[in-house]
Structure 1
Amino acid sequence: MTDNLVHIVGVSGGRECIPPATSEIIDRAELLIGGARLLKMFPEINAEKLAIGNNLSEVITTIKHALTHRRVVVLASGDPNCYGIARNLTEALGTEQVKIIPGVSSFQQAFAAVKLPWDDAVLSSVHARPIEDIIGLVRRASKVALLTDKDHTPSNVARALIEAGIERQVYICQDLGTSDQRVYSGSLEETAKTEFSPLNVMILVSGPLPEKSSMPLIGQVDESFSQRTPDKGLITKMEVRAVSLAKLALREDSVVWDIGAGSGSVSIEAARLARRGHIFAVERSPESLEGLKANVEKFGLGNVSVIAGSAPGALAGLPDPDAVFIGGSGGSMADVLAMVAGKLRRGGRIVINLATLENLAEASRSLQTLGFDTDTLLVNIARSRAIGNLTRLEPLNPVFIVTATRQGEDK
């Protein structure tokens, strides 16, 4: 008889580190699943063994078939809930059929090895993920720990950070919990020239970053941004920017297209909100591009890519977006929206800023034709202005904010 539960057991260090109650669960397994390294730790267990590699769908199917009549144990390194297999199995099997027994995570072991607290650290991974995705994260955080893999090695990470102009103290904690455990310490330049064990945790440490850490996520004053013609107001004003970003409803991993990015004010604040996502700032004006690039560099954002060119042509080849902001279309609104409609992910949003009734009418017609529901907001902002000892209100140009979602999708 079985309890119809898959036991996901975290293993840290050698067998001697496994608590007796957990060892008993592993010993009673009839189907033992795990990476080849972990399975080799239990040669005497009389159970069918299935190694996990690039066969996760096969593993899940096998578990589903075995659950009703066999005791299934899945071995995982450290804490299965920390960049581990528990996420995949709970999503596939349901939480009611899973019991998770955590071990000590590799992050915990790494910080213990270097004798640093980790309650203020940012944890991430470049395992099967682009290294570029963590550059912005490293810029913003004074302490980052990364899981690496055979393709995204510590030396490759170090080279990418050097190219981005970042300096950090580096610790590489290798073969944690084994007799071969060792800790490397050095600069990014030294790390870029060194080879490491494939089983490692990379820790990047800098001094505190008071200037950047004190920046708000949104609400930067307009004067913070380099602008081509500040006297003409060619920037999405702070108040309009805040409403537009709220309408975009970004998640921390959103992919965003900012079309007609101008100075990049929307891209920059979107990047701070979608810190694990990516923003593609599309701009055609050479003069605006100069300021846009300067602003991205000034705010130290590694998750913003500047795309030079006119939409819709410049949008070809970009990853499908979760959200699209259109601050300018260069007179090609209908064509731009048609392109966006074909690429927008399910549940995505389009937010458009418009200054004229004619452009509002064109955008609304195009969106309706493409099968979108729209919500239109007119934003009238007036700012206080001193006149001698008195104060008056000085209005800004009114802006229409159109938010579009596909018909039938949740708003």
Structure 2
Amino acid sequence: MRAVTVIGMGDEGCPGLSSLAINAVAKAQVLAGGERHLDFFPQFRGEKIVFKGDLIRATERIAELASEHTVCVLASGDPLFFGIGNLISKKVGLEHVDFIPAPSSIQQAFARVGMKWDDAEILSLHGRQIEGLVTKLQSLRKVALFTDEVNHPRAIASYLSNFGETDWTAFVCEDLGGKEERIRKFDIKLLSEEEGINPLNVLILTRNESEWKSPSIVPNVPEENYAKRTPKKGLITKKEVRILSVAYLDIRDDSVIWDIGAGSGSIAIEAAQIAKNGKSYAIEVDPEGIEICKQNVLSQKTDNVHVVSGKAPEILERLPDPDCVFVGGSKGNLYEIIRICLNRLSSSGSLVVNAVTLDNVAEAYQSFKKLRLVPDVTLLNVSRGQPLADYLRYEALNPIHIFKVTKPEGFQR
């Protein structure tokens, strides 16, 4: 037996424990866990560590005691599945820890509903922000969610409703294995109004559309799907330009992206669709543009996009450091914007600047030259087929210069 044994429990308490788990508790000198779990062992006479608030300090105490005592840690379900097991391993050392798992609440929830779950995505909102959930859901058909007292099922349903993300059936699985176990089925609207849900719950969401297909891996939203300032046509980046510009940003799943001079927010939105576990910031100074960005965030269901009202470069100091930066507008401050963005970029981060007018092209080129950087430059000429009577002709779009640099190691200007 190792110094620390982490035991998974269900809400039924001791009756659900194996003889191996019971023996581990009987031999322990220290018992740690939440009050709910510790209450199952009123006869225990050794030292107890109650998990309240600061889990880091509690696990540090466990690590201290484990050098001379045998310790049992009580956890919910499978301790290594969105549980405390990983934290214990890091603090104590994996070689000193044994795990005795119980069925996780997710397993129990799907079993009660009678639904297979090998095709489900498991997400946790326990102690986490809800922002980004809607973006993730766009590519999912079946989801199970760990909830908490803030992100409870009613709040989640209300949040989804704000984005029009309502075509789901919800199963609320309460107090699984406990005396008040209850499984209920809702649509999103009814769930957003439901009171009195047990705080111990798991939420399962399944899509209603049997013919639903996940969206394209490469975002390519037509211009007409975006709200934009008319007749100012230039304030929406054309689809072909977006596809190439977003590709040049080298976005990863958890990237932080800045879209400076966001206009209608299309680059920020399509970048966010790739960085589902990241965040995208649409930075715009024009009040009308700000409102249009917000409309597009809602219509494109990308809740990991933050619309920021302000002028670059001054507003940038309020934002977290980026991994990727796109500059579509600069209001005459392009050199300073490029310099500051490169200083703030993460190691090997990407900076992409789009320029339409000859003035902007010259300003971008001279800015990089002044910073002693040699960008990759692409001149993109796009023509689209347009019908003319019984014929097809080409209609040219404005040519775009795309400048791209990768932050050099040790860059500081």
- Which TM-score tier does this pair reach, normalised by the shorter chain? 0.7 to 0.9
CA distance in 2, matches of 1:348, 1:49: 48
CA distance in 2, matches of 1:251, 1:35: 37
Q: How far 1:221 sits from its partner (Å)?
A: 6.0
Q: How far 1:105 sits from its partner (Å)?
A: 1.0
Q: How far 1:342 sits from its partner (Å)?
A: 7.3
Matched, 1:353 2:358: no
Counterpart for residue 260 of structure 1: 261
Q: Could you say if the C-alpha distance between residues 99 and 190 of structure 1 is closer, same or farther in structure 2, counting changes exceeding 3 Å?
A: same
Counterpart for residue 150 of structure 2: 151
Q: Could you say if the C-alpha distance between residues 292 and 62 of structure 1 is closer, same or farther in structure 2, counting changes exceeding 3 Å?
A: closer
Counterpart for residue 269 of structure 1: 270
Q: How far 1:88 sits from its partner (Å)?
A: 2.1
Find the residue that maps to 2:79 and give its secondary structure: coil
Larger displacement relative to structure 2 (310-319 or 382-391): 382-391
Q: Deviations over 1:370-411 (max 9, x none)?
A: xxxx6621224566888999999x8983534333437449xx
TM-score norm. by structure 2 comes to 0.81
2:378 maps to a residue whose letter is: V
CA distance in 2, matches of 1:249, 1:93: 37
Find the residue that maps to 2:68 and give its secondary structure: coil
2:365 maps to a residue whose letter is: L
Counterpart for residue 367 of structure 2: 362
Counterpart for residue 10 of structure 1: 8
Alignment of 1:247-396 (within 5 A): 247-285=248-286, 292-315=293-316, 317-337=318-338, 340=341, 347=347, 349-355=349-355, 356-363=361-368, 365=370, 376-381=375-380
Q: How far 1:144 sits from its partner (Å)?
A: 2.4
Counterpart for residue 65 of structure 1: 64
Alignment of 1:125-204 (within 5 A): 125-167=124-166, 168-191=168-191, 192-204=193-205
Q: Deviations over 1:257-294 (max 9, x none)?
A: 21122343322221111113222212234665566445
2:175 maps to a residue whose letter is: D
| Preserved CA contact (<8 Å) 2:368 2:375 | no
Counterpart for residue 371 of structure 1: none
TM-score norm. by structure 1 comes to 0.81
CA distance in 2, matches of 1:150, 1:389: 63
1:310 maps to a residue whose letter is: K
Counterpart for residue 405 of structure 1: 407
Find the residue that maps to 2:132 and give its secondary structure: helix
Counterpart for residue 85 of structure 2: 86
| Residue ranges of structure 1 left out of the alignment (5+ in a row) | 369-373
1:9 maps to a residue whose letter is: I
| Preserved CA contact (<8 Å) 1:155 1:195 | no
Q: Deviations over 1:169-222 (max 9, x none)?
A: 3222111111221123223333324121111112233313756x4421225165
| Preserved CA contact (<8 Å) 1:137 1:302 | no
Q: Could you say if the C-alpha distance between residues 75 and 351 of structure 1 is closer, same or farther in structure 2, counting changes exceeding 3 Å?
A: same
1:31 maps to a residue whose letter is: V
Q: Could you say if the C-alpha distance between residues 318 and 231 of structure 1 is closer, same or farther in structure 2, counting changes exceeding 3 Å?
A: closer
CA distance in 2, matches of 1:63, 1:286: 54
Tell me the matched-pair count. 399
Matched, 1:216 2:216: yes
Counterpart for residue 358 of structure 2: none
Counterpart for residue 206 of structure 2: 205
Q: Could you say if the C-alpha distance between residues 358 and 164 of structure 1 is closer, same or farther in structure 2, counting changes exceeding 3 Å?
A: closer
CA RMSD of aligned residues (A): 3.6
Find the residue that maps to 1:117 and give its secondary structure: coil
Find the residue that maps to 1:203 and give its secondary structure: strand
Larger displacement relative to structure 2 (126-135 or 215-224): 215-224
